[in-house]
Amino acid sequence: MACTSESETPSVSNLEEKRSRLCDEFAAVAGTDSAVAQCYLAENDWEMERALNSFFEADMERVFDVEDLPEKATTPKAKRQKVEETAPGDCIDLTADSPAATRKPSEDDDGKLSMITWNVDGLDTDNIVERARGLCSYLVLYTPDVVFLQELIPPYVQYLKKRAVSYLMIEGGEEAYFSGMLLKKSRITFVESEIVAFPTTQMMRNLLVAQVIFKGQKLCLMTSHFESCKAHAAERMKQLRVVMQRMKEAPDDVTVVFGGDTNLRDTEVAKVGLPATVCDVWERLGKQEHCRYTWDTKANSNKTVPFVSRCRFDRIYHRPAIKDGVLHLAPDHMALVGLEKLDCGRYTSDHWGIYCTFSVE
């Protein structure tokens, strides 16, 4: 995104062009129109981050039934924290309201690590409760061990905490919008988490990292929502470099999995390059066409846009443990989820989610 303040004194035409660009970028991130964007930017001296914070804080909790939400947790704002599981109390677990949730996995499935990564578009408040419940229905159907989520807002998180109590929620932020993880309590042992800042982001983006144990195997799980909009390729590539460096430097007895909404274009990935030990899971599994496009305005009608855009924004990267004597997990399956319309006539998100499994080589 453009600089957050006008440190120089541009000409009138340059100033108009810059502010017009800021409005377009604000509208793209916040899912609003340019008139609303102009209002918030003008009120915040055309500083993007201040304007976005103001927008997201404005009556955010109105989109959910506030009386149905637990009180906001008072977790310390430590960069690195250990999380204790809390008792579900009177929570209603929507991940256990279907026969599918009680089925015993086969012996083959039991040894596999399963995950979903999904930008759930919490910034779109239309039908958001129905769409959040739709997410829970996919948790029932797929019973993933790990769920990476992007574009969460605080009320959405509270909804999931109350209705998906078989999962531990790890949050990558507390205000505006952020990424998060859900970890299946019966399958994943949580150790600790860390929020890694992206120093030059203008869209409040960061990297959420969790250290966990699965079947005795150490895993490093990462999720992020990289900088949006075509104009911000340079910042996106910086963020990709941070992720790749973390994956490359992880201990050799740890399996590393990253999943998230990267907003990457293939040309940008090519410029950065992936370490020899890291693979793009979609490419490793044969570049299957049916799960190429995760942002597809041709098939997904949640966003009304005057053009067709089909992009592979959501990606999964994998670096296996390389130490002798350690189990080596390898990707073996990938599919898109969220392709069915909900009863409200909309999809769970404007992005398709990715379901992926890993097995022992």
Q: Which of 292, 253, 260, 258 is nearest to 275 (CA)?
A: 258
Distance CA 49, CA 169 (A): 26
Q: Coil, strand, or helix at residue 152?
A: strand
User: How far apart, in Å, are the Cα atoms of 148 and each of 35, 171, 178, 290, 329?
Assistant: 33, 10, 11, 21, 18
Whole-structure pTM value: 0.81
Q: Which CATH number fits domain 80-360: 3.20.20.150, 3.40.50.2300, 1.25.40.10, 3.60.10.10?
A: 3.60.10.10
pLDDT of residue 8: 46
Distance CA 193, CA 239 (A): 19
Handedness of CA 75, 78, 79, 84 (dihedral sign): negative
Instruction: Show pLDDT as tens, one digit a residue, over the chain (361 residues).
Output: 344 444 444 566 678 788 888 888 888 887 777 778 888 888 888 888 788 877 766 655 566 654 454 444 433 333 444 433 334 344 456 665 444 433 444 556 788 999 999 999 999 999 999 999 999 999 999 999 999 999 999 999 999 999 999 999 999 999 899 999 999 999 999 999 999 999 999 999 999 999 999 999 999 999 999 999 999 999 999 999 999 999 999 999 999 999 999 999 999 999 999 999 999 999 999 999 999 999 999 999 999 888 899 999 999 999 999 899 898 899 999 999 999 999 999 999 999 999 999 998 7
pLDDT of residue 1: 39
Which of the residues are catalytic? 261
pLDDT of residue 93: 63
Distance CA 193, CA 191 (A): 7
Q: Compute and round to an integer the Cα radius of gyration of the chain.
A: 20
Q: Residue ranges of the domains in the chain?
A: 12-58, 80-360
Query: Which residue matches tokens 């990564």?
Result: 117
Compute φ and ψ for 224, nearest 5 degrees: -160, 165
Given a contact cutoff of 8 angstroms between Cβ atoms, the answer to whether 111 and 360 are in contact is yes
Distance CA 217, CA 246 (A): 18
Given a contact cutoff of 8 angstroms between Cβ atoms, the answer to whether 146 and 113 are in contact is yes
Q: Which CATH number fits domain 12-58: 3.30.750, 1.10.8, 3.40.50, 1.10.3470?
A: 1.10.8
